């Protein structure tokens, strides 16, 4: 019986999520520390190391109970070496994250992209339910993604696999995207995109509950749109149908190519739940091949913010056991 524990770390621009998790993926404890971006982020590995060892003292357990650390990080990463080429929000340039954490903690470390780890987390303990062919889509401020094929993260040739937010939904006339292109899925299906489309539609048609909200608050959010849609507001339903047409088409096209078993929708927008799933399934089934649609289930992520640290632990555990 394996009594070891593992550490999951999910490094963001403002906070670092941390968790101690056992070999069955059960959460022992989780907490957060602030991300210290001073001096180009050079103190972060020491902060993580101290936080882990203080937590083990607090739990009255020896450090030897820890078998390894899985880390999710943003930016351009070499997943094999755990080297960060560039992480703008943190300040890292050419930062040997894996090597520094291994030296400071004395534990084996694996580093991967945060969206990929969220996909692994959902596969292991969440909505993926063990499905080894899984597409995770995160609908938040942006649109992110992670692909699991045969139980492994698909990294691609230079670590860019899973960038489904930058699938082009509108080849011409689309809104500008942060990536420099226009018409990306992210400009439509992110929380920001949904709010933008709703605002445009309301400006054309004021006969809507959304219109009253826009006048009262001065702006609309994706949550407003789903709330009004649940009240059968016609414009809100049109916005959701428009968004789900583009999202369903993009996911169906991808599914025809990779034939996933589970398609897990996470991120803030996924809290809309059933109404999102219903519209999404409608469009997905129109564009996926029948056998592909039969094989795939679209479902809402269940791990929330814990997906990253749980996926990180799955990855380090798998690496150690190899």
Site string for a copy of itself, 88-127 (x = CB under 8 A): ----------------------------------------
Tell which one of 292, 303, 307, 313 touches a copy of itself (CB under 8 A): 292
Output the smallest distance, CB 291 to a copy of itself, in A. 5
Nearer to a copy of itself, 17 or 279 (CB): 279
| Burial (Cβ within 10 Å: 0-12, 13-18, ≥19) of residue 18 | buried
Tell which one of 66, 71, 127, 164 touches a copy of itself (CB under 8 A): 164
In sequence order, the β-bridge partners of residue 175 are: none
Tell which one of 278, 282, 291, 319 touches a copy of itself (CB under 8 A): 291
Gyration radius of the chain over CA positions: 21
**Residue 77 CA to chain centroid, in angstroms?**
16
Helical residues (DSSP H) of the chain, grouped into ranges? 38-41, 44-58, 97-105, 114-125, 186-189, 191-204, 209-217, 222-230, 234-258, 274-287, 290-295, 307-321
Q: Exposure pattern of 195-220 as b/e (b: 16+ CB <10 Å)?
A: bbbbeebbeeeeebbbbebbeeeeeb
Instruction: Select from 107-115, 116-124, 142-150, 219-227 the region that touches a copy of itself (CB under 8 A).
Output: 142-150
Total number of residues binding a copy of itself (CB under 8 A)?
Answer: 47
Instruction: Select from 42-50, 116-124, 175-183, 193-201 the region that touches a copy of itself (CB under 8 A).
Output: 175-183
What pairing do the DSSP bridges indicate for beta strands 109-113 and 152-153? unpaired
Output the smallest distance, CB 246 to a copy of itself, in A. 9
Tell which one of 36, 89, 168, 234 touches a copy of itself (CB under 8 A): 168
Contact (CB, 8 A) for 264 and 122 = yes
Phi and psi for 60 in degrees, rounded to 5? 60, 40
Output the smallest distance, CB 190 to a copy of itself, in A. 15
Residues 221-260 that bind a copy of itself (CB under 8 A): 245, 249-250, 252-254, 256-260
Q: List CB contacts of 200: < 8 A, sequence separation 6 or more.
A: none
Tell which one of 27, 37, 149, 277 touches a copy of itself (CB under 8 A): 149
User: Is position 180 an interface residue for a copy of itself (rule: CB under 8 A)?
Assistant: yes
Nearer to a copy of itself, 49 or 148 (CB): 148
Residues 55-94 that bind a copy of itself (CB under 8 A): 76
Tell which one of 17, 155, 279, 317 touches a copy of itself (CB under 8 A): 155
Q: List CB contacts of 206: < 8 A, sequence separation 6 or more.
A: none
Nearest to 190 by CA among 117, 265, 120: 265
What is the chain's length?
322
CA–CA distance, 321 with 4 (Å, rounded to integer):
12
Instruction: Select from 17-25, 96-104, 215-223, 287-295 the region that touches a copy of itself (CB under 8 A).
Output: 287-295
Q: Which residues bind a copy of itself (CB under 8 A)?
A: 76, 131, 133, 145, 147, 149-150, 152, 154-164, 166-168, 171, 179-181, 245, 249-250, 252-254, 256-261, 286-287, 289-292, 294-296
């Amino acid at each position: 019986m394996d009594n070891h524990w593992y550490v999951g770390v999910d490094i963001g621009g403002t906070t670092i999520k941390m968790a101690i998790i056992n070999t069955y993926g059960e959460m022992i404890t989780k907490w957060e520390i602030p991300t210290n971006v001073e001096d180009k982020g050079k103190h972060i590995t020491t902060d993580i190391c101290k936080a882990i060892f203080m937590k083990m003292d607090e739990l009255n357990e020896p450090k030897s109970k820890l078998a390894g650390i899985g880390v999710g990080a943003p930016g351009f990463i070499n997943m094999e070496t755990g080297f960060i080429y560039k992480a703008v929000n943190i300040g890292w340039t050419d930062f040997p994250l894996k090597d520094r954490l291994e030296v400071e903690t004395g534990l084996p470390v694996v580093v991967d992209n945060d969206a990929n780890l969220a996909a692994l987390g959902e596969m292991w303990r969440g909505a993926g339910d063990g499905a080894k062919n899984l597409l995770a889509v995160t609908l938040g401020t942006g649109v992110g993604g992670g692909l699991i094929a045969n139980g492994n993260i698909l990294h691609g040739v230079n670590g860019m696999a899973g960038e489904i937010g930058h699938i082009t939904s509108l080849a011409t006339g689309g809104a500008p995207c942060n990536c420099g292109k226009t018409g990306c899925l992210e400009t439509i299906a992110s929380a920001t995109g949904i709010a933008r489309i709703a605002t445009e539609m309301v400006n054309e048609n004021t006969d809507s509950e959304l219109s009253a909200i826009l006048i009262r608050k001065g702006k609309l959010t994706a949550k407003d749109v789903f709330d009004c849609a649940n009240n059968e507001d016609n414009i809100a339903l049109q916005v959701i149908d428009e968004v789900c047409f583009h999202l369903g088409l993009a996911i169906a096209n991808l599914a025809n190519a990779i034939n996933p078993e589970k398609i897990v929708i996470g991120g803030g927008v996924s809290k809309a739940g059933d109404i999102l799933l219903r519209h999404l399934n409608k469009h997905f089934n129109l564009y996926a091949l029948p056998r592909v649609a039969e094989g795939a289930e679209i479902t809402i992520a269940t791990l929330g913010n814990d997906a990253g640290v749980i996926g990180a632990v799955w990855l380090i555990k798998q690496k150690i056991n190899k």
